[in-house]
């Protein structure tokens, strides 16, 4: 009888341990999926904000409402970037924002603005390629020039 009781106890402990292990692995997997989804959402917002950022500097007469919406989105994105973006993407994002802003300073001619716009669009596409690569998504957005 003692042997049967010991067998039942050992069986219960093994079953409990195995169940805990399975649940723990499931939880870890769910956390990874959640973090990946948050990172993907953040990167989509990054590309949206960069596109708006470029537009606000390209077009001198952006309506105030559109500019305020862009500014709010830009500021709101900062905390998401700090948490979910890789350090390389985080650093490159702010460098690209600065490059875009600086590229339009003192540009007066429409033709020059259009040329700068094409250069900036290419930079944004190459940045999107880096994001895709970091997420493990095959293919490129930019044309290989």
How far apart, in whole angstroms, are the C-alpha atoms of residue 84 and residue 40? 9
pLDDT of amino acid 37 = 93
Helices assigned H by DSSP within 59-109: 64-84, 87-103
Residue 96: other Cβ atoms inside 10 A? 19
> Rounded distance, CA 15 to CA 63, Å?
65
pLDDT in tens, the chain (145 residues): 688 888 888 888 888 888 888 888 888 888 888 888 999 999 999 999 999 888 888 876 777 888 888 889 999 999 999 999 999 999 999 999 999 988 888 777 777 888 898 899 999 999 999 999 998 888 888 876 5
CB contact at 8 A, 70 and 52: yes
CA angle in degrees (0–180, nearest 5) for 98-102-103 = 115
- What is the model's pTM? 0.74
């Amino acid at each position: 009888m003692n042997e049967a009781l010991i067998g039942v106890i050992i069986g219960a402990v093994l079953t409990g341990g195995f169940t805990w292990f399975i649940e723990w692995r499931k939880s870890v997997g769910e956390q990874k999926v959640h973090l990946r989804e948050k990172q993907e959402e953040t990167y989509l917002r990054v590309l949206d904000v960069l596109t708006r950022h470029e537009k606000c500097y390209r077009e001198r007469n952006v309506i105030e409402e559109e500019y305020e919406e862009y500014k709010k989105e830009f500021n709101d994105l900062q905390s998401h970037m700090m948490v979910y973006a890789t350090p390389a993407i985080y650093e490159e994002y702010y460098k690209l924002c600065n490059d875009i802003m600086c590229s339009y300073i003192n540009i007066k001619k429409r033709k020059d603005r259009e040329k700068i716009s094409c250069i900036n669009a290419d930079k944004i596409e190459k940045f999107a390629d880096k994001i895709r690569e970091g997420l493990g998504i095959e293919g490129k957005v930019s044309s290989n020039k």
